[in-house]
């Protein structure tokens, strides 16, 4: 993902094209050079609002920061899912007033992601054991093989969803509006300290962003 975001933001920095913000970089296609091109020139000038194409330092830094934000978000979510039970996450969201069906649906979808990836790997290995050659095949054959494996995974997912729905019905899921749980979550002293620290850091970042708008751009 970073290999896509960083180069595109380096070449097409949005603040330069939308707000004509001064940047430091090297021209790839100068507007004067684009005007001399017979067919491609008007298209380039139309897409770039008449400013040409430039590789700028500000765009590189912006793409790098966006990539780091995405990586940190994915890492934080993965760390939360690896260290916390899904039941505790559902109970926590219920404490904040989020409907149980919504949290259950979200956690079920997240829980099925590694299962689907493992099943996809098993299907690919099974096709390779039956003679399918992915590296030596052409693009058309690869598309055919992947479409078959994808359809197999979809069918298995539908079967798994039916089994899950049947298990939910046998346990009277949603029969009562008031839900009870075997365990009740309570805020410990460590939880209060960590929550206060996170709120303080978040408030400081929001305050800095309000006082200095260009600091986190």
pLDDT digits (tens, 9 = 90+) for 149-202: 788 888 888 888 889 888 888 887 777 777 767 777 777 888 889 889 989 998
Q: What is the pLDDT of residues 114-130, one digit of tens each?
A: 888 888 888 888 877 87
pLDDT of residue 137: 58
Closest to 56 measured CA to CA, from 84, 91, 21: 21
Does residue 105 have a pLDDT over 90? Answer: no
**Inter-residue contact 29 to 52 (CB < 8 Å):** yes
Indicate the pLDDT class of residue 81, thresholds 50, 70 and 90: confident
**Inter-residue contact 50 to 85 (CB < 8 Å):** no
Which DSSP category does 29 fall into? E
Q: Calculate mean pLDDT across residues 59-77.
A: 88
pLDDT of residue 216: 58
pLDDT of residue 1: 60
For residues 112 and 156, what is the distance between their CA atoms, to the nearest angstrom?
A: 12
Tokens 């990539």 map to which residue?
Answer: 67
Indicate the pLDDT class of residue 214, thresholds 50, 70 and 90: low
Domain residue ranges of the chain, discontinuous segments joined by +: 2-69, 86-182, 187-217
For residues 90 and 111, what is the distance between their CA atoms, to the nearest angstrom?
A: 12
Q: Which residue has the higher pLDDT, 1 or 156?
A: 156
Q: Where are the alpha helices (DSSP H) in the chain?
A: 2-11, 14-19, 31-36, 40-47, 57-83, 86-95, 100-129, 139-170, 189-211
Which DSSP category does 30 fall into? -
Taking residue 119's Cβ as centre, other Cβ atoms within 10 Å add up to 17
Indicate the pLDDT class of residue 78, thresholds 50, 70 and 90: confident
Beta bridge partners of 54: 27
pLDDT of residue 197: 92
pLDDT of residue 200: 93
Query: What Cα–Cα distance (Å) separates residue 182 from each residue in 36, 103, 108?
Result: 74, 18, 20
Give me the chain's average pLDDT, please.
81
Query: What's this model's pTM, rounded to 2 decimal places?
Result: 0.60
């Amino acid at each position: 993902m970073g290999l896509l975001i960083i180069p595109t933001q380096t070449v097409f920095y949005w603040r330069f094209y939308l707000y004509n913000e001064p940047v430091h970089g090297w021209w790839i296609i100068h507007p004067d050079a684009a005007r001399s091109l017979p067919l491609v020139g008007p298209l380039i000038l139309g897409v770039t609002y008449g400013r040409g194409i430039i590789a700028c330092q500000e765009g590189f830094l912006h793409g790098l920061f966006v990539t780091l934000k995405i990586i940190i978000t994915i890492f934080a979510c993965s760390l939360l899912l690896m260290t916390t039970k899904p039941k505790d996450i559902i109970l926590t969201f219920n404490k904040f007033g989020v409907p149980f069906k919504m949290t259950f649906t979200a956690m079920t979808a997240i829980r099925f992601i590694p299962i689907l990836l493992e099943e996809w790997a098993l299907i690919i290995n099974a096709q390779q054991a039956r003679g399918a050659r992915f590296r030596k095949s052409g693009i058309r054959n690869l598309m055919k093989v992947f479409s078959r494996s994808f359809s197999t995974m979809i069918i298995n997912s539908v079967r798994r969803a039916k089994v899950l729905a049947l298990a939910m019905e046998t346990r009277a899921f949603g029969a009562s509006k008031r839900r009870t749980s075997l365990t009740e979550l309570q805020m410990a002293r460590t939880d209060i300290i960590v929550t206060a620290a996170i709120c303080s850091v978040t408030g400081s970042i929001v305050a800095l962003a309000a006082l200095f708008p260009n600091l986190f751009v």
